[in-house]
A and B are shown apart, each in its own frame.
Chain A
Amino acid sequence: MTNPVRPGSTAPQGYGSRSLAGRETTNLGDILERVLDRGVVIVGDIRVNLLDIELLTIKLRLLIASVDTARELGIDWWEHDPWLSSKDHDLIEENRRLRRRLTSLEEGEPGRIEAGTRSRVVREDRD
């Protein structure tokens, strides 16, 4: 291995023969796990609900590492990682709650906030 490069000087290290073309060859999985999982999370305007992103993240996680594979390896640290377990769950719950509220407000039926829209929201969540 060589010395690390300073930001901006050359292509990143670690890609062996694939590094010549520069950063476009950076492993997609490496990018996805970074752009989806972390970074500043600022909730965009209502047009793009964070819930959508969370759903995507969950799907991609299935791709990034199947839980079975990792568990088979004896790696289960993410189950204790607040980012990957409870916090996500809380976030999804929070988004469901907000989505229900939004739906109710849009429908102009404030009385149905909790109960009335639940089943429809759950269906949406799954598609």
Chain B
Amino acid sequence: MTEIGTYVYAIARDADSPDPSGLEGVAGAPVRTVEQAGLVAYVSAVPLDQFGEEPLRRSLENLDWVADTARAHHHVVETVSEAVATAPVRLVTVYTGEEQVGALLERRHDAIAEVLSRVAGRSEWGVKAYAEQVLSPPPSSGDDQGTENPGTAYLKRRQANLRDRNDAWRHAVGEAERVNAALAAVAVASRRHRPQDPELSGREEWMVLNGAYLVDDDRADEFATTLDALRGQGLDLELTGPWAPYSFTDIDLNEASDEL
């Protein structure tokens, strides 16, 4: 018989927390709740032959598996966060049973409650800024060929191209800083994720900003207006959200590691 573990998605306050019935989690399992100390954890049962330590090591190498799990995880987090202030839990957090999750809620109550207070009535918005890549201009028509040998001319051209490219980068990065500062001024908090590789973003342009902003829900319109005012000034700005406050609910790790 396969042992069963408890996968944790998100934590909210018990009051006003949505009923999870009908909600599916990872591996299609029904989502349940564990209530303790005024908090509620959204969990589902997972077979440890897939979610135990050794199987996870293998599974986590498989990006398709990771993608499916991440989407299922995100779906639960998002559903809960649409209804109530939510602290998402990081992917593949698995306990050996619901009692352990209850004990966790008891033990970490204060830190979790503080995080939930911080994100209540607020949503995370994502803003990415893209800059058009500066490509090397076509080879020079040969005006300077008379006096310099071809090697020197080539190196000079290449140097000039690199300078153009560098200038373009610097300019775009400077613009991104300006955008970030303007948006952060409307937000309660802001974080910057690492810019995504074109392979992941699906766009050829340079990503020069990948920001996350925690915004009061009653200032969401103002945030969007601020963003719109920054458009058309060189950077292509992309807004995503509202997200569950993933980027603003980290709890101090040192405290967490004391538990082991």
Contact = CB atoms under 8 A, between A and B. Distances in A.
Contacts of A109: none
A82 to B, nearest CB: 10
Given A1-B228, A38-B246, A75 B71 contact: no
Nearest to A61: B194
B160 interface: no
Contact of A35 (B90, B242, B259): B90
Contacts of A8: 82-83
Nearest to B166: A74
A80 B223 CA distance: 27
B201 A40 contact: no
B173 A43 contact: no
A48 B51 contact: yes
Interface of A: 1-8, 12-15, 23-24, 26-49, 52-53, 55-56, 60-61, 63-66, 69-70, 72-75, 77-78, 81, 83-84, 87, 91, 94, 98
B53 A38 contact: no
Contact-residue size bin, chain B (C-beta under 8 Å from the other chain): 35 or more
Interface in B208-242: 208, 210, 212, 217, 220-221, 223-224, 227-228, 231, 238-242
A40 B53 contact: no
Contacts of A24: 71
Contacts, number: 221
B60 A56 contact: yes
B96 interface: yes
B53 A47 contact: yes
Contact of A34 (B63, B125, B200, B247): B247
| Top 10 closest pairs, chain A to chain B, by CB | A34-B246, A8-B82, A39-B88, A29-B200, A14-B239, A14-B240, A35-B91, A48-B94, A56-B60, A4-B220
> Which among B90, B125, B220 has the highest number of chain A CB atoms within 10 Å?
B90
Interface of B: 5, 8, 11, 48, 51-53, 56-57, 60, 63, 66-67, 70-71, 73-75, 77-78, 81-83, 87-96, 100, 104, 108, 112, 115, 123, 125-126, 166, 169-170, 172-173, 191-202, 206-208, 210, 212, 217, 220-221, 223-224, 227-228, 231, 238-243, 246-251, 253, 256-257, 259-260
Nearest to B247: A38
Given A13-B241, A94-B257, A4 B74 contact: no
A1 B224 CA distance: 8
A83 B92 contact: no
Contacts of A43: 256-257, 259-260
B108 A42 contact: yes
A26 B88 contact: no
7 contacts: A1-B228, A1-B239, A4-B224, A6-B217, A46-B260, A48-B51, A56-B60
Contacts of B108: 42
